[in-house]
Structure 1
Amino acid sequence: MLQSPVFQRFRKVLIGFSQGGYLSYRMTTEYPDVFDMAVLLSPSFKGETADTIPAGRTRFALCYGSDDRTIPIADQQCAREQLGSTGRCTYFEYPGMAHNICDQEIADVRAWLGL
């Protein structure tokens, strides 16, 4: 469906929260030339290594709350380092936010997407 001429003029953007954020990330590793952007909201990132960094052109927005303890700090740092190494990642952190989504995050994602 994504290869259909009907969809060729549209950007392909993945957006996921928590496990959905991780799934979005994994889709970019499996299909590195399909997605234009991926918004990863508080994703788990356990066990990811340099050999799983997505190639391709996908740009990433990576978002975490500063008080998110659902996703271990080490996993958050791994995500930031691994995706940051692509040169295609914008990182957002939200002071005082736990494992959820806030209005500022939505506004930042909208701006990042150019909406």
Structure 2
Amino acid sequence: MTDKLLPCIEIEPKTPATASVIWLHGLGADGHDFEPVAKQLALPSDYAVRFIFPHAPRQPVTINGGYVMPAWYDIVAMDIDGARDPVGIGKSVDAIGRFVARERARGIAANLIILAGFSQGGVIALETAFASAEPLGGVMVLSSYLSDPDAVPVSPTRLPVFIAHGTDDTVVPYRLGIAARKKLTEQGYDVDWHEYAMQHSVCAHEIGDIRQWLLELLEE
């Protein structure tokens, strides 16, 4: 395994960072996709949050005819929750784990490192939190799902998890968001559930709810 970091976009606070949000985009996008959200969240400057938006590596995606695009892992069938790519997921978890390690080396406490991800990115955000040797601050799971519900570990620390899903989502069906909420709650995670009348996207109401969740999390 290489120690080299994936390319990324970093947005620094006005004062030295005391917390970090590592935000992962969805299939076919890149780190620029959620870059505007850092400004839209309008977090108070005294929270000193660093935002990191990694770019997924480019690779063939089976479901798209083998077309090469940014992807955290391969999707081999329309039944996304039943067709897993454990090797690809493992590689991306290692890659994001290196960002977590770098933030720790920069002096950010583990409980002030928050992972976030949209769609595929949400899968990797959760899997990285599951694999972390130290409990992280929280995970934002946006329009996403569990890659392997049977492998979700028990959370000894009631890890905070913000889950948001569109009721009209046809890419990652709403039922998968509901299933993730149920399983994570059963395994002891502190789940904050939100649903919106939208498709596979992000809405202004959701950004407001994310802001409130982050403020409460970083105040603790």
Q: When the two structures are superposed, what TM-score results if normalisation uses the length of structure 1?
A: 0.84
Structure showing greater Rg: 2
Counterpart for residue 38 of structure 1: 139
Shift of 1:10: 7.1
Counterpart for residue 53 of structure 1: 153
What is the distance in 2 between the residues matched to 1:37 and 1:69? 27
Structure 1 position 92 matched with structure 2 position 199: no
Percent of pairs identical after alignment? 24
Structure with higher RCO (Cα < 8 A, 6+ apart): 1
> What does residue range 59-78 of structure 1 map to in structure 2 within 5 Å?
59-78=160-179
Runs ≥4 residues deviating over 4 A: none
Q: Is the 8 A contact 1:41 1:63 kept in 2?
A: yes
Structure 1 position 4 matched with structure 2 position 111: no
Flag structure 2 segments of 5+ consecutive residues without an equivalent: 1-101
Which has the higher mean CA deviation after the structures are superposed, 25-34 or 11-20? 25-34
Q: When the two structures are superposed, what TM-score results if normalisation uses the length of structure 2?
A: 0.46
Q: Provide the secondary structure at the position in 1 that maps to 2:112.
A: coil
> Which of 68, 74, 79 matches 2:180?
79
Counterpart for residue 113 of structure 1: 214
Q: Is the 8 A contact 2:116 2:125 kept in 1?
A: yes
Q: What is the letter of the counterpart of residue 200 of structure 2?
A: H
Size of the aligned set, in residue pairs, is: 113
Flag structure 1 segments of 5+ consecutive residues without an equivalent: none
The change in CA–CA distance for 1:46 and 1:6 in structure 2 (over 3 A counts) is: closer
